[in-house]
Amino acid sequence: MTNNVDILRGNRLSKTSDLASSFISSVNDDLPLIEPVKKINIAHMIMLVKQNVLDKKTANKCIKTLKLIDDSFKLNSSLEDVHMNVESFVISRLGNEIGGQLNLAKSRNDQVATAIRMISRTSILSILTNIHELQKVILNLSKTHTDYLMPSFTHLQHAQIITLSHNLLAHYDSLSRDVERFQETYYRVNKSPQGSGAIASVIIDVDRDYIAKLLGFNGIIENSIDATTTRDFCIELMSNLTLLMLNIEKIVNELVLWSTSEFSYVEISDEFSSTSSIMPQKKNPVIAELIRSKSSIIIGDLVASIGIIKSLTLGYSIDIQDLTPRLWNSINKSLSSVHLLTIMLSTCKFNKESMFKNLDDTMIAADLANYMASNYNISFRQSHHIVGTLSKQALVTDHPLSYIVKNNLIKTTKKITGKTIKVTSDEIDSIFNYSKNVNSKTTKGSPSNSETNRMIKLRQVQLTNSSKFITKEQNSLNKSEILLEKSINNLSGGGN
């Protein structure tokens, strides 16, 4: 059995089989491209009239037919892709003589590259919007949890005392780098390949800059080979999404860990939890866990996409068709993950008492070593040795480190350094005061309240600036939509 694909194969090839046609077809992955492809065809028609290549009457008829394409438009897999489906639709209504002009001076190669970039740029703005909302939640939580003392961890072992605010701001800052990457990528994505033809441009005088303007691009990919061939912008975008999800994973990893009975640092809302099918007492952080797993899927999409393009020479090959669904998948999973995390985090309840109960004197050890080295004329390595000895004594005797320090610091220092130091009990009490310990750290970027408040104020300004980028670029795209519609109206006014 064969399919009628004459619009594609013409008189060059005989008809293909259903099996081969199905294998080649990308229609299931082309659904997001319907609207961009429609706009590209309309802009291309307007440009051809401007260049006196096509008459207004033909262009108007094609454009009016293109505008009939809406959400109900169905793609036929026998026509391979969205491009041939759209052209077939126009030809079926206008005939070959008029509708057959739709692909004049363009190729599927430049058209699909343009359409993918149009989807990618709007997706970047959506991702930036979602990150912005997540950062707002994190910043608000940081403001209200400056006095929540908690352990920090290295090697997942207790390290030093910080605040919940300081921990949250670390996540905020990693997301800020994601914002920077997406903003930079946006400018590279928002360049038009349209008008490059299949690979070597066309003999017709196409105004590529004009098409780019109508479609809201901020310039063109100039070289026709590069314009139609490259998918580096997809790899760059997917790399950004991978880094974003790795940063998101750090947050949900903490939520999963901190919600255990062993930690009890946070209570995740019932809305984002589930219970067990057999253990009715259970409350499982399933949304956080599933967000965590999505990063692995997106890494897989990235690696698969790199594998698809790594061996290709310059010039379009249909291999890269298989990259597109990986891009869509990564975008959609990232968008939903960030959105869900934002809502989930905003409803989390943090347990100040549980965090404080997990603090112990050993978390002061590094600061005690630095304090001794800077105040008692001994080297840091010597003081490190002294505090390490005292820490072991505390562990063996099951006493708090502060108790051991009060009783054995002078003796241990004398033994290790040969020096006699004078340390008062009040001095030691001050060193081991957890709140004083945190707030004594005034170095830029430290967890003290003064530094935390300074960082919060600075990040509020940064958040406003990132919002301005989104608004600016979205307004630019909106203006191009208005320009395209105005150009359509101007054309139809003199086309009959």
With helix as H, strand as E and coil as C, how does 364-423 read? HHHHHHHHHHHHCCCCHHHHHHHHHHHHHHHHHHCCCHHHHHHHHHHHHHHHHHCCCCCC
pLDDT tens column, 140-194 = 999 999 999 999 999 999 999 999 999 999 999 999 999 999 999 999 999 999 9
pLDDT tens column, 112-144 = 999 999 999 999 999 999 999 999 999 999 999
Q: Comparing C-alpha atoms, which of 107, 103, 96, 112 is closest to residue 54?
A: 103
* Residue 149 CB coordination number (10 Å): 21
Task: Tell me how far the alpha carbon of residue 112 is from its chain's centroid.
Answer: 23
Average pLDDT score over the chain: 94
CA distance 185 to 190: 9
Burial class (CB in 10 A: 0-12, 13-18, 19+), 64: middle
Q: How much is the pLDDT for 492?
A: 86
pLDDT of 14 higher than 70: no
User: What's the angle, vertex CA 427, arms to CA 160 and CA 451, rounded to 5?
Assistant: 45
Q: How much is the pLDDT for 106?
A: 95
Q: For 61-65, 183-187, 279-283, which range has the lowest pLDDT when averaged over its residues?
A: 279-283
Average pLDDT over residues 273-289: 93
pLDDT of 361 higher than 80: yes
pLDDT of 4 higher than 70: no
Q: How much is the pLDDT for 13?
A: 65
Reduced DSSP (H G I as helix, E B as strand, rest coil) percent helix, strand, coil of the chain, to 5: 70, 5, 25
pLDDT of 27 higher than 80: yes
pLDDT of 247 higher than 60: yes
pLDDT of 50 higher than 70: yes
pLDDT of 10 higher than 70: no
As annotated, the active-site residues are 155, 276
Overall pTM > 0.75: yes
pLDDT tens column, 398-431 = 999 999 999 999 999 999 999 999 999 999 999 9
Q: Tell me what percent of the residues of the chain surpass a pLDDT of 70.
A: 97
Q: Tell me what percent of the residues of the chain surpass a pLDDT of 90.
A: 92
Q: How much is the pLDDT for 8?
A: 65
Answer whether 164's CB lies under 8 Å from 95's CB: no
The domains found in the chain, sorted by start residue, are: 6-104 (1.10.275.10), 109-357 (1.20.200.10), 361-439 (1.10.40)
